Amino acid sequence: MKVNFKDVAGLEEAKVEVMEIVDFLKNPDKYTKLGGKIPKGALLVGPPGTGKTLLAKAVAGEADVPFFSLSGSDFVEMFVGVGASRVRDLFRQAKSKAPCIIFIDEIDAIGRARGKSNSFSGNDERENTLNQLLTEMDGFDTNSGVIILAATNRAEILDSALMRAGRFDRQIHLELPDVKEREEIFQVHTKNLKMASSVKIDFLAKQTPGFSGADIANVCNEAALIAARNDKKEIDKQDFLDAVDRIIGGLEKKNKIISETEKRTIAYHEAGHATVSWLLEYANPLLKVTIIPRGKALGAAWYLPEERSITTKEQLLDEMCSTLGGRASEEINFGKVSTGALNDLERVTKQAIAMVSFYGMSSDIGNLSYYNSTDDYGFTKPYSDKTAEKIDADVKAMVEEQYERAKEVLRNNMEGLTQLAETLLEKEVIFSDDLERIFGKRKGENKALDAINEAKEQEKAEQTADAETAPSTDAQEAENQNNENSES
Ligand code: ADP
Ligand code: ZN
């Protein structure tokens, strides 16, 4: 069955990116004539069920080219030599059918970084398979018309050799759908269902936070089965609700569903960050905040860091204050704090230590830096115990002061904070527009924000989407985050 972009709901950004691949496949001459090299591969990164396979198939469908696929997990238990020869065969076949798409699902099963946990016997075969894959990718001409798409939900564990130029040098990120996107996915999957008029798609979308596209497809199918089991002529609202319950049961086991209370906590935590960072003059402006669960992490916020090569003390303190805004909001609104701020506290602590002992930003320590660019002190600290105590005290005081400041900013803006958190609970995502509506324009030197607005205008004019910023997330699963700049 042929899949097209119309079968893929939401995922607007990812679609824009793969559109280019479709264009490469359809009009290779357009690019090669000018001497350009068509990319060989792109990595689709996102949680299970977000539509990575679907999108890859849609690329083949839109370009009207053959689709070859294999899954990394197929190779795990293979006999010696089989994996490598399967890869060889696949590429041979694909090259003879070019232009075409090769899709490798679960590439992490073969592409995990080498040299880690290599005591297992099956690993040699995995490594052979990976090497064969690299050889094949290097072996064919960039412009031969074979484009390789690979899917993973853990890009950070992949061998860096895979990501080198001329291999999978592009990454396309897919996220769990927000409420509006879920509505669109429901639309796609209820198209062929006989439904009662009592079934409202927007209602279903609201009932399914944290569901992936695959989960929603399951809900739709399950609802049809439940209705049929009860000899109904059409599927009604209750059938859908029962189906949602069933799927939630499965997801709860996988720890993917958050309770209503947790969701409130996350919303107020994230709104705290957003409010403080919006109101402080030197903090990084915010682009987007979501409370859609991402793995085990809680919410997430996207900031646009200004392009600074020198950072002032005011900027660092405002950043610190915003980072503490999450926990501060929890304390103010619920009278208690949660473990959700682990990641925030770690960042703040490191920053404060750096300010006091590296950057000479504490009046008590003065213009001394215990930073060591040559790193040859070994185990002895370059300062006395007395200084160590001073550093400890200064670090503590600095963080304490910013925490109090964050609480004060929030207390003075309770109305906006509440409005923001409630908007988050309802819409699951907010953008800088929402903040501006609630708090008014940001004051101070907001070159970065001006740049965003300018870029937006320009984008409207040119209809070219770009300006990627890296998302990052809160809490427990810090190691799961592979992004650089600032966070929630
Ligand atoms: P992944 O490869 O990311 O694990 P799949 O592409 O295999 O996810 O998704 C499984 C199924 O879930 C798809 O075949 C489709 O029915 C449904 N699905 C997932 N994402 C979407 C989406 N964005 N729009 C429509 N259906 C989707
Ligand atoms: Zn936080």
pLDDT digits (tens, 9 = 90+) for 386-445: 888 999 999 999 999 999 999 999 999 999 999 999 999 988 888 888 898 999 888 755
The verdict on 165 and 221 lying in the same domain is: no
pLDDT tens string 377-403: 556 678 888 888 999 999 999 999 999
For residue 474, is it within any domain?
A: no
**Whether residue 304 has its Cβ less than 6 Å from ligand 1:** no
* Cβ of 9 less than 6 Å from ligand 1: yes
Radius of gyration for the alpha carbons in the chain, expressed in angstroms and rounded: 26
Q: Is the distance from the beta carbon of residue 48 to the nearest atom of ligand 1 less than 6 Å? A: yes
Whether 340 is in the pocket of ligand 1, judged by its Cβ within 6 Å, is no
Which pLDDT score, from 0 to 100, does residue 127 have?
Answer: 81
> Coil, strand or helix: which one is 42?
strand
- Give the mean model confidence (pLDDT) for residues 153-182: 87
Catalytic residue flag (residue 106): no
Residue for token digits 């947790």? Answer: 262
Q: What is the mean pLDDT of residues 20-37?
A: 84
Residue 470's pLDDT is 38
Least confident of 52-61, 138-147, 277-286, 353-362: 138-147
For ligand 1, atom 15: residue with the closest CA: 214
Measure the CA–CA gap between 82 and 59, rounded to whole angstroms.
29
* Residue 330's pLDDT band (cuts 50, 70, 90): very high
- Is the per-residue pLDDT at 234 higher than 60? yes
- Indicate if 99 and 203 belong to the same structural domain: no
What is the domain extent for residue 42?
Answer: 5-173
Regarding whether 116 and 11 lie in a shared domain, the answer is: yes
Give the separation between CA 480 and CA 482, rounded to whole angstroms: 6
Same domain, 277 and 135: no
CATH number of the domain at 13, please: 3.40.50.300
Tokens of 326: 């999450």
Same domain, 183 and 320: no
> Do 264 and 164 belong together in one domain?
no
What is the model's pLDDT at position 488? Answer: 45
Catalytically annotated residue among 62, 106, 125, 270: 270
Query: Within this chain, do residues 307 and 276 fall inside the same structural domain, yes or no?
Result: yes
Alpha-carbon span 359 to 21, nearest angstrom: 47
Q: Among 72-86, 102-116, 297-311, whose mean pLDDT is lowest?
A: 297-311
DSSP string, 434-464: HHHHHH-S--S--HHHHHHHHHHHHHHHH--
Q: Do 154 and 100 reside in the same domain of the chain?
A: yes
Reported confidence tier of residue 487, pLDDT bands at 50, 70, 90: very low
Work out the number of other CB atoms within 10 angstroms of the CB of residue 276. 30
* Best of 54, 71, 108 for a ligand 1 pocket test (most atoms within 8 Å of beta carbon): 54
